[in-house]
Amino acid sequence: MTALVRARGLVRAFGGRRAVDGVDLDLLPGRRLSVVGPNGAGKSTLLRMLATLLRPDTGTIELVGHDIGARAQRARPHLGYLGHDPLVYLDLTAWQNLELFGDLYGVPALRERIPEALSRVGLLPRAHDPVRTFSRGMAQRMGIARLTLHEPTLLVLDEPYTGLDAQGARLLDDLLAGFSTGGRGAVMVTHELTRAVELADEVMVMRAGRSVGRMETAGLGAAAFADRYRELTS
């Protein structure tokens, strides 16, 4: 079985400080992993490397069977990335944004897929309005539409609930709840410990750039995990 993520010895430093310091990570198809830890633990740096937005100083990453050191372009069509920023163009309309993104990824039947994607996030009535006119929550829902348009195999999510309105949060909850089918998987950074447990099969705790614990969520209540989290990060 080809791992969706296989990372070994990841190191990334900024100004002499190691933000990520020797992290190994594996994710098999059908699995969802939450990454948690205090501010400055290296979570976002790790996610940006997995999303091919940053290169590790040392270490290797394979995504969906592709070594991103040599073949990042082959891995990217399989990825769906969402972070604090929805990564949409404010001066383009919702439709134009998805059209541009779909063209870049060679999405088939794009004229049919765009209205479906906008309808899923409740934005079809605003399809031809510039994203600049959207609220923060609506713009984040646009990010979810962009995220799912090309039907990625692996979701890489960095604090994706930031700025989401209630409707968008429910949409993302539902998306993650069903994303372990068909050989797909997800890695999500979040500060929300309850969501970290409820929406993933495993949780990895980071502190000072390192992985200090990883555990299955089956049978693990949010309160019990919160106690364990405090032990690992204190």
Count structural domains, the chain.
1
H helices of 25-183, in order, are: 43-50, 68-75, 94-104, 110-120, 136-149, 166-177
**Range(s) of the domain holding residue 161:** 5-233
The CATH number that applies at residue 169 is 3.40.50.300
Integer Cα distance of 114 and 121 in angstroms: 11
Q: What is the pLDDT of residue 15?
A: 93
Give SS3 for 125.
helix
Take residue 76 and report the two structure tokens written for it: 């990217």
Per-residue pLDDT of the chain (234 residues; tens, 9 = 90+): 789 999 999 999 999 899 999 999 999 999 999 999 999 999 999 999 999 999 999 999 999 999 988 778 888 899 999 988 889 999 999 999 999 999 998 999 999 999 999 999 999 999 999 999 999 999 999 999 999 999 999 999 999 998 899 999 999 999 999 888 889 999 999 999 999 999 999 999 999 999 999 999 999 999 999 999 999 999
**Predicted structure pTM score:** 0.93
Q: What is the pLDDT of residue 70?
A: 74
Integer Cα distance of 192 and 204 in angstroms: 13
